[in-house]
Structures are given as structure tokens and as C-alpha cells.
Structure 1
């Protein structure tokens, strides 16, 4: 055994002062770790230094990166499937809100559960299970014909994908040496916006981009909706297949008293990184038996009682005086970042839609006090308001009425034949002796109107939902690419930045910049201003999340790492769900309110970031 190895893996009987200073300099979460933990982390770091870092870690980062991209896909795809589901599943605004809420609730609950399983079953095993659940239920969701069955399958798929974040980062970090883990974690996190880029490009190639095209596409037996959902599974499948050829985290194997398997992993890493040399460490250098924790007892038949006991145990551990301060601090920061990130996203989307509607209705055509008789309207009408107008013996034939309002009109002896409508209403209208043939006009289109002796034949659709033809998926496509492309580069560079600077300083700078940027919310008056604001805020916040993720990994010991990270992600998603509702409701009031909320919370995050302890020298 080389001298460096002998230095790092000191005998358990050696006084604490003889343990390397680098091994003893642990974070708040590991200051009370006994010499057993010191011996394992020291041995692990020494074993990785001999195995070196290179091709093996790069391959693992790419495989895990596809899984992380799938996590972003499930969130980004909501922007596409929510308007599409209105047509394909015939759902209204309330059902769409439930679909979003169910997704984030599943992400929150699943993050916590998979985190616990990652510490009990192993990072790789839990990750394979999570990806398998995602793959199965995502596939099932593609063929579900009704809202209830689709949401059930989608909820289960969200439960599966929620395990990606708390498992992948710990998995990769425990395979990298202290000097290189930030670099590889930054590279891993850069795959997250790639998921948004992939799903946007996929939507551009497979989905109809305009509202009228979406309606026509829905009439096909196997519509583009199904193809889109199936192809969105590819990153999940790729990551799952790639994990077949990867090994378990060697640090977890040491913690689980599976030291021989851990040694085999180190040897495999060395073989991939240095194919011409032989790994120098053998079983003789493994830590003594007293260095390992007791093996967990078999759950036996009462598996639910076993996991409930495990749940109580991990909650008690992360809330002990040793971890409580760090847990509380990191939990509050995750709540703030989750709330602001999704709040900014929801705010920007709503404000862009508001500006677009204002521009659209500012060009509305008004026709008042006119008299139309013996005429045929066979051209589409869009953004028109008829007021105090009389239609007598006219025919609307093979046409589309898009955002047309008939107000205080009289329609007599007329015919609506093969007419499709979107946001078209008859308010205070008198309709007599008219025929409605092959139209989608139903009772909710007639508001306080008088209908006498009319005939309705062959309704086009029984779905009562009034789909907006002014839905343009191209807006979502360009908006996503605007922030996802630069975010990829920013997250990639974050790994190198954190190698040079302390985590505390990085988070402090990012939150401070976001705080001052958020003041601009109050002064936004143009579409370009909204897009720039969203672009800057999302990149700053996600880079801060990246640095905070590294802090979580370095703060907690191996047997609590995934659980703690899963808990933080649970809070992140719950805060995101709250932000969607709060910011969505504030869009119709003065911009001062969302601005004040955002600025205050980010200044609080800036202050709290000064309390983060530097754990950059911590061994995992």
C-alpha cells in the first residue's frame, strides 16, 4: 500500500489527532462523526485518488444526465400538454389546474420517498426503480383516452421522475474525488435544460402549432398527441438502459458494509480511466470490520412497518441538534428558490399572454347598426363584434368564427351550416326560425339570448369546452429556447466557478443579482422586457440551485445524503405549486404586489446565504 493510502486510512486505535486534517474538517452535519466515519471517508477518497477521475465519471454523468433531462421534460411538457389536453381529453380550466397540481404534488411526495429509498437500497438500485416507474406509466399515459385515467398514469409517472434529482447528484458526487466533484456536478446539471430544449424541438416537429390545426389533428385516430408523448420518453429509456452497465456508488457500498463490492467498483473505475495500468489497492487495505456500520436487519414480512420505522429514524436524524441548523437553513432556501423560480415562470407566461391579448383585441373590428339580408358568409370571421345588427335570411356556410361577438342583434330565418367556433358568443340576441347544422354551438354560447323555433342538427362535438383557436405553441417553443440554451452553458460553467470560489460566495452573488433584477418587474411594459426578465431570473436562480445542491451533498453524511436532498426537493416542489397559484392570481392586479413579494424573499435568501458554512474541503 502506498504511503498516501496509509496516511488517509489510519488505524481505528490511532488518536484522533493523527487522522488527516482534511478528513476531520467536516461540515456541520458531520462534525460529530466518530472515527468509524472518518476511516470510511478517508479510505473512499484515497481509493478514488488511485482510481483517478476521467472516462468513467464522464460516462456516468452522461447516463445520469439523460435522467435529469427527463426530469425537466416532465415539467416543461406541461406547457404543451395542458392546452392540448383541453381538446384531446375535453377538460376545462379546473381540470387543467388539477393536472398541474397533481404533477407537483407527486414530485414533492416522490422526492422525499425516493430519497429515503436511495439511502436504504442504494443510489443505483433506487434510480433504476424510479426510472422504471416513470417509463411504464409514461407509456401508459400515452394511450389513456379519458381525463381520469390519464391523470392517474401521469401522477404515477411524476412519482417516478421525482427521484431523479435526489439520487443522481449523490450518485455522481460519491464517484468523484473532492477536487473534481463540482466540475462533474455542474456538467450533470447542464443536462437539465437540455430536457427543455429536447421537448421543444420535439413539439416543433410532431405537434400542430396553431389552434385550428390542433382541432383537425384531434380527429385522427392516432394523433400527434400520442406520438409526442411516446417520443418524450426517449431520454428516460436511454438513462435506464445506460444504468444497466454502471456500478453502484462505492461510497454507499462501504456504508452498507459491502466493502468487497466497493473494491470491485474502484477497480472498474480504474480500468475505465487507466486501461494500461493495474489498480494497486487490494482487499488487504480495506478498513477493518469495526469501521463499518451494523448491517440493517431484514424487514421480513412486515415491510410497511420496517419502512415506517426507517421514515421515523431519518426524520429524527436530520432534525438532531447536529443537523438541525443546517437542515432549517437549507430548507428555507429551497422553499424560496422553488417559490421564486416557478413564480417568475408563471408570472412571465401570464404577462406575455396578457400583452398578446391586449394587442389582439386592440385591432378588433366593430360593426354596428347594420342590416344584412340574403347574403352568404363563407369566409372566416375573426376578432369581430356585431352590435345592434340585423341578419335576415343569411347563411353562414363552411366557415370559422373566431372570437366573434354578436351583441344585441336579431337573427331571423338564417342558417349556420358547417360552422366551427372559438370564443364566439351571442349576448342578448334574438334568434328566430334558424337552422344550426353541423356546428359546435351549444347552450353556453348563448348568453341571455332569446331562441324561438330553431333547429339544431348534428352537433360536431359533444365536448362543452370552448377551445381557443388563438393558441400558438410556437410561442412556447421560442420562449423555452430563449432561457434553456443559455442556461445549459451557465450550469456547465458553474462547476468550474465553484471549484475556484466558496459555495457561500457563489450563492450570495447569485441571489443578490436576482434581488436587484427582480426590482425590474415593476417597470416591465413590453413583451421583450418580460422575456429578458424571465431569461435572467431563471438562469440566476437555477445556478443558485446548483450551488445549493452541492452544499446539501457536502453537508450530510452518506447514510442521510439522499434523504436530506429528497426532503429539500420536496419543499422546492411544494413551494413551486404555491407560486403558480399566487403569481397567477396577482397578474390581474398592480405589478407592485408580485414585485414586493419577489424582492423581499430574494433579499431574505441573500441574507441567509451568508450563514451557509463552507464545506468545500469535506470528504464524502
Structure 2
């Protein structure tokens, strides 16, 4: 959905509509500001979630712990009514509920025991640190360490490749673009007028005399060791265009974006520069093809949908550990096919297959993380491991960004190694399929929190 939204909101710069950067020039404001519209659309689900939370009922367990039995009963009645909407004869028969006295781990306090805002804040801080330390208590230390390894390696490999795929595609397109470059050597231009556009052209040892460049778009043009004498440049837009080792004399620049960085080791004698274009001086690449980028990435994201559906069946059939280990191992083996990625089509196919296989392991560790901890540690454990996941994603993105342009063996071996490490670590996990959450892992205290229901 995000890829489709970006495709709809950002300007169309596909190759057939690019017209050598003309559309970028004509819609410059739209091109450089459309990301704000896309960001606004992407934030809509978050706003809807916040609104939805307003209508979500409070946890009955929380209400009972805070001595709000009536409200807890109303929540249960509401859930019962929703689940039996089509049965007019259904009657909710529970009329009384209570929680038995319990002993919470150190640092955990009932919200009803606080007397003020500061007490609530300090109790929250104590409870937080107690939860974090509880994750590394002897009962859960091995579990937490194994899950940290799995989350870290999975995020490193997946997010690293997610960055590498589009950048490598961009590199392939760039190499193909420059292979088709036109080179003009040792040619003299006298009284010539250049208008329209010039793209992907290299002028070597050429002379321009009494000539004019007017209403022109220069896209990836290099003037190498050229001389310009009595030449006028008017209304010029350029991208990746440079004057290198050249000589310019008695020439005039009017309404151009020829900033100083475009002149590399170039000597200018008796030249004037009038009405230099104001604005951003970044050398924006007119060759960017946003539509193709989104469409290519969309195939890989679509593969996650059937992959998730299949993984749901596998998780119930074979369990969390087998699916996780198998998915990460197969993803590690699949990574060796990076060596054969030399075309755009092969990259897209590989991304589809990799995402389809990998998502099963991602879903497995996601579910297992919830099932491995008791109620009083579950959210803290998931939050800590999510932070580890984000850390792995950051290091993966930074590492794989440095792999662009290097041998394909580097991302291949890096991905295979980290995912294989995650697969091996997952074999140390205990299967949690068909085990109740409250008893799947030994609790931190000897008396787990229980719910007693009295039926009248």
C-alpha cells in the first residue's frame, strides 16, 4: 500500500515520460515537495489507530487489579455480546469476578496503591527496571539472549538487503546508461546554436566558437578538455554536467545553474555570470525514474502477502522453532544466488523469492517472543527485542550501503552468515505451540497471577 501510495502521489518520471529531465524542470516544485504529501498519507494509519484506541475497552485484568469489578464485568459482557451477535438466545451468566491476592515481583505495584502523580511515575520507573532485570533473571536469561541474537541477525539481513535491492538496481541502470554514452572527439563548432536538450554525451578536445547554448537542458554532459570562445549560455538547466580541464574566454552566462562545482580545473578568462539561478544547489539527477522504483519494489512487497498466509499454516502444523529455523536456513541458502544477479529482472525475482521465504521466520519469532514471557514481562520483553531489531536494522542499512558498487560476494556472504547464525540460535529455543501463555515458560515468581471467576 505504501508503494502504491508513493506511485500515485509522487510525480510520474518514468523513462518514457522523462523527456530527458524536461518533466522535472517543468514541475520542479512538485518534484521536490511531493514527499510531504506522501508522508502525510503514510501517517493516516497512525492517526486512525489513535482514534481506534479511544473506542477500545480497557483490559478487564487491569480493571480488576484496580478494584473496578463493575467496569470489568461490562467489558466481558460487551465481548460476549459481540461474539454472539447472531444468537438472540445467548445470555451472559457470569455476575461476579475477583482476583485472588497475589505476590507481584519486586518493583511491581498495583496502580491503586499509589497516592499521587509522583508516586505513579516512580512506581512506573521501578516497574520498568524490574521488568528489564527480570528478562535477564536466571529463568529467562537464556531465552532473552537467544531471542536477541535471532532478532538482531534477522533485522540485519532483511533490512540490509531491503536497502541493497533498490540501490543495486539503480547501479545496474546507471551502468547501462553510461554504456550508451555518446562520445564526440576533436570536433570544432563555429556559429552553432544548441537548443532543446543534450543527454549522456561526452565532448573531448572540442572547440566551440561564436556559438550559443540557449533554452537548453544538459543531462549527464561532460566537456573534457574543451575550449569555449565568444560563447553565450542562456536559460540553461543542467544535471550531472561538468566542465573539466577546459578553457572559457569572452563568454557570458545568463540564467543558468552553472555553480562553481560544475567547473573542475577549468580556466575562465573575461567571462560574466548574470542572474545565476537561485535555490537548491544540489546536483539533482534528472534520470531518477520514480515510477519504476516503486513498481519494482512493489513485487517484493507483494510476495510478503502469500508468504504470510503460508506461514500461518506452517506455524500451526510444524511449530514455531521448526518454521523459524527452516525459514532462516533457507533464506541463508537463497542469499548465495545474489552472485548471479546481473540484470534488473533477476534482482526482482530474487527479491520476491527471498521475501516469500524469510517472512515465515519473521512471523515465527514475532509470535514466539510473545509466548515465551509471562504477562508481567511480555510487553517489556517485546519492547526490548524490538529495540534490538531496530539496532540490527540500522547496522544492516549502514553496512549494506557500503556494499553498493563492491563485489556481489560481499552482500552475499554477509547475508548468508548472519541468517545462518540466526537459524542456529533458533535451535536453542523451546517449542511453544499448543502451550498456554500463562504456563509456557516458568514464571518469575512462584505464584503466577490467576483469574478466578465465580459463576452464579
**TM superposition score category, shorter chain reference:** 0.7 to 0.9
The offset of 1:225, in angstroms, is 3.7
Q: Deviations over 1:322-371 (max 9, x none)?
A: 11111001011000010000111122222211111110000000001000
Does residue 1:338 correspond to 2:155, yes or no?
Answer: yes
Structure number with the higher strand fraction is 2
The offset of 1:302, in angstroms, is 6.8
Does residue 1:244 correspond to 2:47, yes or no?
Answer: no
Q: Which of 289, 294, 297 does residue 100 from structure 2 map onto?
A: 289
Query: Does the 8 A contact of 1:251 with 1:558 survive in 2?
Result: no
Q: 2-side partners of 1:592 and 1:255: how far apart?
A: 57
Aligned match of 2:419: 602
Aligned match of 1:518: 335
Q: Deviations over 1:480-528 (max 9, x none)?
A: 2101222123213432332222111111221121121111112222222
Q: 1-side partners of 2:254 and 2:80: how far apart?
A: 75
Query: Does the 8 A contact of 2:60 with 2:73 survive in 1?
Result: yes
Aligned match of 2:290: 473
Does residue 1:311 correspond to 2:114, yes or no?
Answer: no
Structure number with the higher helix fraction is 1
- CA RMSD for the aligned pairs? 2.3
The offset of 1:541, in angstroms, is 2.3
Query: Does the 8 A contact of 1:267 with 1:279 survive in 2?
Result: no
1:434-473 to 2 correspondences below 5 Å: 434-473=251-290
Aligned match of 2:448: none
Query: Does the 8 A contact of 2:374 with 2:437 survive in 1?
Result: no
1:499-538 to 2 correspondences below 5 Å: 499-538=316-355
Aligned residues: 422
For structure 2, which runs of at least 5 residues remain unmatched after alignment?
14-20, 439-456
- Specify the structure having the higher radius of gyration (Cα): 2
Bigger mean CA offset, 477-486 vs 366-375: 477-486
Query: Does the 8 A contact of 2:243 with 2:262 survive in 1?
Result: yes
Aligned match of 2:92: 280
Partner SS for 2:278: coil
Query: Does the 8 A contact of 2:307 with 2:359 survive in 1?
Result: no
The offset of 1:220, in angstroms, is 6.0
Q: 2-side partners of 1:321 and 1:582: how far apart?
A: 34
Aligned match of 1:69: none
Aligned match of 1:213: 23
Query: Does the 8 A contact of 2:151 with 2:389 survive in 1?
Result: yes
Aligned match of 1:412: 229
Q: Which of 428, 431, 435 does residue 245 from structure 2 map onto?
A: 428
Aligned match of 1:577: 394
Q: Which of 417, 420, 436 does residue 618 from structure 1 map onto?
A: 436
**Alignment CA distance shift 1:348-1:225 (3 Å):** closer
Q: Deviations over 1:517-549 (max 9, x none)?
A: 111112222222222222222232232111111
**Alignment CA distance shift 1:349-1:553 (3 Å):** same
**Alignment CA distance shift 1:271-1:441 (3 Å):** same
Q: Deviations over 1:186-237 (max 9, x none)?
A: xxxxxxxxxxxx2222222221132653454343699544433323332223
The offset of 1:259, in angstroms, is 5.0
The offset of 1:395, in angstroms, is 0.8
Aligned match of 1:373: 190
The TM-score normalised by the length of structure 1 is 0.64
Does residue 1:202 correspond to 2:202, yes or no?
Answer: no
The offset of 1:279, in angstroms, is 4.6
